[in-house]
């Protein structure tokens, strides 16, 4: 038989179709050969005008064909093959987008598949929000559709049982003992109690911004393939030999961010009046520091927790509480600069869901705010920062004054 590509051309009957190569990141090598190597010739515009199929053994022109490939990750695609593609990053749906998709498409589709009408089943918006946030954790809407299908099946059973009771009573027979439940009122509205009965207890808990009652706790923002999340960073200190302990399944980049934060704070300890346990000028002298990133079972990496670690440790060394309505993200340097990071849209939406009021972002990420919905931009106070001094001033009530702020504006006295 001809190969898949020539077979597809034969099916459509034209030489310029659109070809969809689905899940191109899951190609596997086998004894029959490497499909990625064959795709190199197919996708390269310099070569595919004379593609030779092993069945036809005649050169065929594929230069008019538009190839679209899909993949979940580019990490497993061979570099030579990736080099011949134009990569378009498609972000996961936000919670608001999932809500619209569910009510416009998924719910009507599932109602139709289960033989129900909107007059029989009504799913309010807050129930759908509950399903999205507490029963699914995904970038798309596949699990959400399955959960809505489960709700429809449970309601379809109730409707069918109600109809059976009505038929029995209308035929004049006495309904049996187990069937004499009254038919449900229409429409059946799915509230939070009904949701728990049908889908069981919630599978996921939303991290909600808690009141920070101790120094040494700060709120960061993290990006995952399933969307943004808020992340608490906790620090404590005890007498010791100046060691730093890091826990929470951290990657190398995150560990380096913690060491950067410690070095910057030690270098600027006098400026911000940071002290160790006995009031000495070096915060690490005779003191051990422990940094923890819950949840302990989730692997974490990336540079964007840098500003959160600095704020957390500054709170610990100064004994002051970080504002509980502030979340932050940004990479740091040894000079105290704040560098841009990725995933801003997902991170800000996670902060908004958690009830955060102020979000501290790198100044060079200001362009990413245009992607946010207008209602989110209106609800949040964005503080764009270029250095760690601005981060600390925005993170604490009344700012975080150091001697530098006094030095930078000296009182001028006239010499005349």
Instruction: Report d(CA 288, CA 245) in Å as an integer.
Output: 8
User: Please, are residues 52 and 59 in contact by the beta-carbon 8 Å criterion?
Assistant: yes
| CA distances from residue 145 to 199, 387, 395 in whole angstroms, order as listed | 13, 45, 40
Which candidate in 147, 300, 345, 347 is catalytic? 347
- Distances in Å between the alpha carbon of 26 and those of 66, 103, 342, 415, 416? 21, 32, 26, 77, 80
Phi, psi of 274 (to 5 degrees): -95, 140
Element (H, E) at 19: strand 18-21
Tell me how crowded residue 248 is: count the other CB atoms within 10 A of its CB. 18
Residue 258: name the closest of 270, 247, 267 by CA: 247
74 contacts 23 by C-beta, under 8 angstroms: no
- Residue 257 falls in the annotated catalytic set: no
User: Integer distance in angstroms from the first to the last C-alpha of the chain?
Assistant: 100
Q: Is 98 a catalytic residue?
A: no
Peptide bond preceding 187 in cis form (omega within 30 of 0): yes
Residue 212 to residue 325: CA distance in whole angstroms = 9
Residue 94: is it exposed, middle or buried by C-beta count within 10 angstroms (0-12/13-18/19+)? buried
CA–CA distance, 220 with 306 (Å, rounded to integer):
9
The one catalytic residue among 304, 315, 318, 395: 304
Residue with tokens 């100064």: 318
SS3 68: strand
Tally of CB atoms within 10 A around 134: 18
Active-site positions? 304, 347
């Amino acid at each position: 038989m001809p190969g898949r590509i020539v077979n597809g051309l034969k099916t459509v009957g034209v030489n310029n179709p659109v070809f969809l190569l689905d899940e191109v990141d899951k190609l596997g090598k086998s004894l029959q050969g490497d499909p990625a190597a064959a795709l190199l010739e197919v996708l390269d515009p310099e070569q595919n005008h004379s593609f030779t199929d092993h069945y036809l053994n005649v050169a065929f022109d594929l230069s008019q064909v538009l190839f679209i490939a899909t993949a979940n990750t580019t990490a497993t695609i061979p570099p030579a093959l990736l080099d011949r593609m134009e990569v378009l990053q498609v972000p996961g749906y936000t919670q608001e987008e999932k809500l619209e998709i569910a009510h416009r498409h998924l719910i009507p589709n599932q109602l139709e598949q289960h033989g129900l009408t909107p007059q029989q089943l009504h799913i309010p918006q807050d129930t759908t929000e509950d399903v999205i946030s507490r029963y699914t954790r995904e970038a798309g809407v596949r699990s959400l559709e399955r959960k809505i299908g489960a709700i429809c099946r449970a309601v379809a059973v109730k409707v069918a049982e109600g109809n059976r009771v009505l038929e029995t009573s209308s035929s004049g027979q006495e309904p049996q003992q187990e069937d004499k439940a009254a038919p449900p009122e229409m429409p059946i509205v799915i509230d939070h109690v009904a949701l728990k009965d049908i889908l069981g207890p919630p599978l996921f808990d939303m991290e909600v911004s808690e009141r920070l009652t101790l120094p040494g706790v700060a709120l960061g923002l993290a990006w995952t393939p399933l969307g943004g999340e808020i992340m608490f960073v906790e620090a404590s200190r005890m007498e010791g030999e100046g060691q730093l302990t890091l826990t929470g399944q951290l990657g190398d980049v995150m560990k380096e961010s913690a060491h950067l934060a410690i070095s910057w704070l030690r270098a600027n300890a006098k400026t911000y009046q940071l002290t160790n346990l006995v009031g000495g000028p070096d915060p690490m002298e005779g003191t051990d520091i422990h940094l923890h990133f819950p949840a302990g079972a989730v692997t974490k990496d990336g540079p964007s927790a840098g500003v959160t670690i600095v704020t957390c440790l500054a709170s610990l060394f100064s004994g002051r509480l970080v504002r509980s309505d502030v979340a932050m993200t940004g990479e740091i340097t040894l000079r105290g600069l704040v560098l841009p990071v990725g995933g801003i849209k997902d991170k800000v939406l996670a902060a908004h869901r958690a009830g955060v009021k102020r979000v501290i972002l790198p100044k060079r990420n200001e362009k990413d705010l245009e992607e946010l919905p207008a209602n989110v931009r209106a609800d949040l106070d964005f503080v764009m920062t270029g250095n760690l001094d601005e981060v600390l001033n925005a993170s604490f009530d009344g700012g975080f004054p150091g001697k530098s702020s006094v030095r930078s504006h000296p009182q001028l006295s006239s010499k005349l």
